[in-house]
Amino acid sequence: MSRTDQTSKPQNTQGSGGSDQLISVLDVIRIVRQRWLVGGFCAVVIAVAVGSLLLMQPPQYRAQSSLVIELDTENIIDVKEVVNTGVRNQNLLVSFMNTHIERLKSRSMAETVMAALEPEMHDLFLEGYVGPLEDFDSTKELPDPAGLLVKRALEVNWGTESQAIQIIITHSVPEVAQAVANQYINQYIKYKAKLRSKSTSEAVSFLGQEVEELRVKLADRELALQAYRKEKNLVTAKRGESIISQKLTQWSEAVTNARVRLSGVESRLKQIQLAGNDLAPLMNIPFVGGRDDVKVIYAQLQELRREFKVLDETYLSRHPKMVENAASQVAVKEALSQAIEQARQEVSVEHATIAGELEDLEARLNETKEEALQMELDLIDYRMLERKVERLRLTYETLSERYSETTIAERMNLNTVRVLDLAVKPSSPVWPDNKKIALVSFCLAGMFFVAVPLGLEFLDFRVKTFSDIEAYVGKQLLGHIFDFPNKNEKRLVKAVLENDEDLQEPFRAIYSGLRLKLKFGRDAVSLVLTSSMPSEGKSFVASNIAATFAMHK
């Protein structure tokens, strides 16, 4: 419990013990208000000191030159460069320009620039960092000019929407800044020209060797092609191919005709075999019964049969006429059988003849096919060799043309780096900058105006607030009671009993806190109230707490 002025307010605390303190903006304002004199004094001192120190620095001058990186070279004639600088993609453009920037920032380029400066400018550049060279300690080694240039003087900028690169040199001597900026432009253009010339010369040498090797190889391949054509007798290859094609066509047609005829003969043989020795079916076969001799003999047989029927009606079987007729029929039948057998033999002979002819035709067709296949294989090999020679010839012609273009390009100035603006002598220093120094001093003053009071508050370990008490004892306060100096002390002792609205609620809060922390039961509970000094209100608090307990029975 604590008693304080009515105007004071406890700070926010977090956690049961109040150890994790939070500081709000209002707390910061309160702390700054309490110690604003100290904070203001420190802020003014720091701002004046820093501003004076910055204003006392030697003046720095800035010279700017710029160059433009062209994506394509000018085509005086239709000649392509060895190095293709065409860039069509934004990502490739960024990479392309960053490569130029890194080359400009490289130590080797800085050394080249410093070596190209006049001795007087070189010495002035060093004096800007180490002072007069006459006063420099001879026992010490002079700093590296190229390192100073890269780390402290050089700045390379590129606008992503352009192809221009700005080179900015900062130095205490304006003439030196101008000279170094212009030397950067000149030396980088020379470097790119030398690099391009070297690449072109190497390409010319390489292409020359390749062209000569291809020329020798092409001559050897052409001679080998001619020899192969003579060896395979392919001088009249197209004519021979046409003759073989005609032969294939003729033999194929002959084989087809033979097979058709053989099929017909086989069909006739099958008809004869099916007819057997039965005369009626045999006579119905056209190529048997249709023969002239067979028809004549068969007509005689038919006549004898009709005559036999007539005689049979008149005479007996042993009658001479009947016997003569029967003998004549036998003779005619035998002649008919011989004629039919001759027809069969003719068909068989025709079958054998056609079969032999077909076999011979197929053999000749196969020979012609093998001949055509061999010629086709020879022609395929020949055409493959011919295509290789043609490709080699095309490569040779392309490289020869490229060799001629590269030789011309070697003699031309096809540099893609151009001067955009040369640096001019700066007329006014860029540093010290009064506006920037004032801004820095103001920001430092503001920081110290707030930081010093906060630091002093952080180092102040005195107990002054409710949160300090809670942090010190590690316990939460049960409540706080405001001081009312205008009220009568006797009435304050009975404030709870007399329902004083200003004091009744704080004591109720204290009672609630005690009730939550203590177990009120049958056992007696003792409460001790104490303070660090007399007359701090122990009796006032004890009587009102007792009254609050009594009101809650």
Please measure the distance between the N-terminal and C-terminal CA atoms of the chain and give it in whole angstroms. Answer: 22
pLDDT at res. 178: 92
Nearest CA to 542 out of 501, 502, 514 is that of: 514
Integer angstrom CA distances of residue 76 from 73, 239, 413: 9, 52, 10
* Rounded Cα–Cα distance for residues 109 and 150 (Å): 9
**Residue 376, number of CB atoms within 10 A of its CB:** 12
Task: Give tens-digit pLDDT for 401-419.
Answer: 887 877 766 565 566 788 8
For 179, residues 6+ apart whose C-beta sits below 8 A from its C-beta are 117, 118, 121
Task: Give tens-digit pLDDT for 481-530.
Answer: 877 777 777 778 888 888 887 788 888 888 888 888 777 766 777 888 88
pLDDT at res. 302: 83
Taking 90 as the threshold, does the pLDDT of residue 168 lie above it? yes
Checking phi first, is residue 299 left (phi over 0); if not, alpha (psi -120 to 50) or beta?
Answer: alpha
Integer angstrom CA distances of residue 511 from 95, 98, 504, 506, 546: 76, 76, 11, 9, 10
- Report the DSSP pairing between strands 13-14 and 164-171: unpaired
Q: Helix crossing, 25-34 with 36-55: angle to 10°?
A: 80
Lookup result for tokens 């239709």: 78
pLDDT at res. 211: 84
Taking 70 as the threshold, does the pLDDT of residue 354 lie above it? yes
pLDDT-derived band at 458 (thresholds 50, 70, 90) equals confident
pLDDT at res. 111: 92
Show the tokens assigned to 471. 């942090």
Mean pLDDT of 439-457: 90
Mean pLDDT of 229-244: 67
Q: Does the CA dihedral 483-486-489-492 come out positive or negative?
A: negative
Mean pLDDT of 272-283: 76
Determine which helix (DSSP H) or strand (DSSP E) holds 120, and give its type and residue range: helix 119-130
Lowest mean pLDDT segment, chosen from 5-14, 126-135, 237-246, 317-326:
5-14
Mean pLDDT of 427-452: 88
Show the tokens assigned to 224. 């080998």
pLDDT at res. 11: 43
Lowest mean pLDDT segment, chosen from 12-21, 219-228, 255-264:
12-21
pLDDT at res. 236: 58
pLDDT-derived band at 49 (thresholds 50, 70, 90) equals very high
Task: Give tens-digit pLDDT for 184-207.
Answer: 999 998 888 887 777 677 777 888
Mean pLDDT of 102-111: 91
Taking 80 as the threshold, does the pLDDT of residue 39 lie above it? yes
* Rounded Cα–Cα distance for residues 141 and 147 (Å): 14
pLDDT-derived band at 443 (thresholds 50, 70, 90) equals very high
Mean pLDDT of 302-315: 84
pLDDT at res. 16: 39
Q: Cβ(179)–Cβ(128) under 8 Å?
A: no
**Residue 485, number of CB atoms within 10 A of its CB:** 7
pLDDT at res. 378: 76
Nearest CA to 174 out of 437, 433, 430 is that of: 430
Lookup result for tokens 């080359």: 103
Task: Give tens-digit pLDDT for 529-550.
Answer: 888 888 888 888 888 888 888 8
Q: Residue type at 254?
A: A
pLDDT at res. 261: 85
pLDDT-derived band at 42 (thresholds 50, 70, 90) equals very high
Nearest CA to 72 out of 198, 163, 186, 175 is that of: 163
pLDDT at res. 167: 92
* Rounded Cα–Cα distance for residues 239 and 380 (Å): 16
Beta-bridge partner residues of 155: 168
For 318, residues 6+ apart whose C-beta sits below 8 A from its C-beta are none
Mean pLDDT of 125-135: 82
Task: Give tens-digit pLDDT for 138-151.
Answer: 677 888 888 889 99
Nearest CA to 511 out of 527, 495, 500 is that of: 527
Average pLDDT, the chain: 80
Q: What percent of the chain has pLDDT over 90?
A: 10
Mean pLDDT of 25-52: 88
* Rounded Cα–Cα distance for residues 172 and 175 (Å): 9
Q: What percent of the chain has pLDDT over 70?
A: 88
